[in-house]
Amino acid sequence: MTRPDQGSSRRDPAAAAPSARTAAVVELQGITKRFPGVLANDDISFDVRPGEVHSLLGENGAGKSTLMAILSGIQTPDSGEIRVDGTPVRIDSPRKALDLGIGTVYQHSTLIPALTVLENLMLGDSTGLRLDAAGARARLEEFGALLGVDVDPAARAADLALGRQQQVEIIKALWRGSRLLILDEPTSMLTPQAVEELYTVLGRLKADGLATIFITHKLHEAVSLGDRISVLRRGQMVGTLNADAVGSTPPDKLEEIVIEMMFGAAAADLSEVGELRVGGVEEADAAAPAGPARVLGEPLLELVGVAAPGVGTDPGIADVDLVVHEGEVVGVAGVDGNGQRALAEAISGQRRASGGEIRLFGAPVNRLSVLKREKLGLRYLTDDRIGEGIVGNLSIALNLFLKRIGQPPYWRYGSVRKRAIDARAEELCEQFDVRAPGVETRAGTLSGGNMQKVLLARELSFGSKVVIFHKPTYGLDLKTTLAVREMIRQMRDGKAALVISTDLDELLEVSDRIVVLSRGRLVGEVAPGPGAAEEIGGLMIGDVSLSLAGAESAA
């Protein structure tokens, strides 16, 4: 089977098995890219061959995104050479990248929600006045057959599940005959089932001779999917494990090698890293403390039949019953956009509940303001760090105190006591390992990880009792992720935590039990253990697929 619209330049698929002798589709040599104060890419050489998946692994800030941006024409390198089929090229626009056969699938959907699948795909066909809908439909069918997926050309992009949207994105990236597909963190928004489908699709594309760069910071994905694995660290290429090595090394051993490449030799011994390695159920079991036998304390947070309205495209919640006891960490799983934000904001007080009762320490708080609930010990670690967590113009110190503006001893007689604030802020920065030149540094200049640490310091200090963690490790690097998960686990010590996350591995690792949120309702509860991931995945998409079927039959 050949992919549609593939010219003679493509090599025979039969010979596509990666080997050192196969000429690279795209080759980077000595790529350097400098941003103010940062050397994002330092003399990086890298290539990808037909019929292979090349995993690109690295922590946040390691330079993966820059490298990808250079390949897809968003950035141009300061120095270095890019060769396509051995010919040096200059990729100075995304269109040029597409013309050269490099297609990119970004982490977040770039489909236009109001348009149909077919219309989205035809957006790139801007040659000539007439749209060739019939031809495009035939092309889509060919692609569907190649990928082994069945996409309805007339479905609106907005009605598709995220996994399906991504398949359309892949088709879009290949639409004009790409020979290199770049996938940026493709699994971060997907259910386990959708990840399986993605793996299948990538397998078929590989067999068809497509070169793929698979960018991820999840180790087990890089190892299970990559023919070759390259690791970036602080803008430098640490090394590439070639196909023979990957093929002949058992996965456990391979992961150890890769961890060493990512963090240096010393880090491989870190016991915590091991926990995250596979991220699978077995590890999660080991991490969870004694399960049902543990005695729980009083219920600290109770939701009885709570409903809250949606805002814009963000859906609301209905009939939510939930109890979090003292010493308990409860996870909320669900595909993004199923009412997570409404749930968090209804509890924090940012959104008025339209029904039901929310109780803190046994007393109803429905009518209390955000500030009053905060004073009772309720904290909400927002998922939108930049959008609502941080005020970028203000210093780290002031950001740490935004939830206690005007309160003694930091404000006296209406006047700010800067010294008291700075002293306490310095303590907090030390305690939570915030890396910054000083507490006077503008919070907006911090990296995502440090920003999250500032927020954690704010939410976990000053007498917090019940904390809602909303996507607490989203976009963070491995080390920070581990630190944050450890903080969540420590909530078992006399406090209570509600962890809302789309990362199932994370929930399995930190939660005592997991409830599943789907279309604004809690559809089930699962205890972490063997088979939990599959069960949760089923609950997560159950209603979505029903609604999709409804939408399709209506169309």
Q: How far is the CB of 133 from other proteins (least distance, A)?
A: 34
E strands, 405-528, are 411-412, 415-416, 466-470, 496-500, 513-518, 521-526
Q: How far is the CB of 45 from other proteins (least distance, A)?
A: 20
Q: What end-to-end distance do the CA atoms of the chain give, in Å?
A: 31
Question: How is residue 284 written in tokens?
Answer: 């999660």
Q: How far is the CB of 15 from other proteins (least distance, A)?
A: 38
Closer by beta carbon to other proteins, 219 or else 397: 397
The answer for residues whose C-beta is within 8 angstroms of residue 134's C-beta and 6 or more apart is none
C-beta atoms surrounding 271 within 10 Å:
6
Closer by beta carbon to other proteins, 388 or else 430: 388
Question: How is residue 377 written in tokens?
Answer: 């010990």
Q: How far is the CB of 148 from other proteins (least distance, A)?
A: 36
Closer by beta carbon to other proteins, 294 or else 412: 412
Closer by beta carbon to other proteins, 126 or else 415: 415
Q: At what angle do helices 532-554 and 192-207 cross, to 10 degrees?
A: 80
Residue listed under structure tokens 């051995």: 86
Q: Return the SS3 of 261.
A: helix
CA–CA distance, 292 with 246 (Å, rounded to integer): 40
Closer by beta carbon to other proteins, 393 or else 490: 393
Q: How far is the CB of 355 from other proteins (least distance, A)?
A: 22
Query: In sequence order, which ranges of 127-270 are alpha helices (DSSP H)?
Result: 133-147, 162-174, 192-207, 219-225, 243-248, 251-263
Residue listed under structure tokens 């997907």: 190
Q: How far is the CB of 371 from other proteins (least distance, A)?
A: 3
Give contact residues for other proteins (rule: CB under 8 A): 35-37, 74-76, 78, 92, 348-350, 369-371, 374, 380, 382, 384, 387-395, 398, 402-403, 405-406, 411, 414-416, 418, 437-438, 440-442
Closer by beta carbon to other proteins, 66 or else 518: 66
DSSP codes of every residue in 46-85: EEE-TT-EEEEE--TTSSHHHHHHHHTTSS--SEEEEEET
Closer by beta carbon to other proteins, 343 or else 539: 343
Q: How far is the CB of 450 from other proteins (least distance, A)?
A: 16
Q: How far is the CB of 194 from other proteins (least distance, A)?
A: 29
Question: How is residue 501 written in tokens?
Answer: 């996350």
Question: How is residue 316 written in tokens?
Answer: 């609301």
Closer by beta carbon to other proteins, 440 or else 552: 440
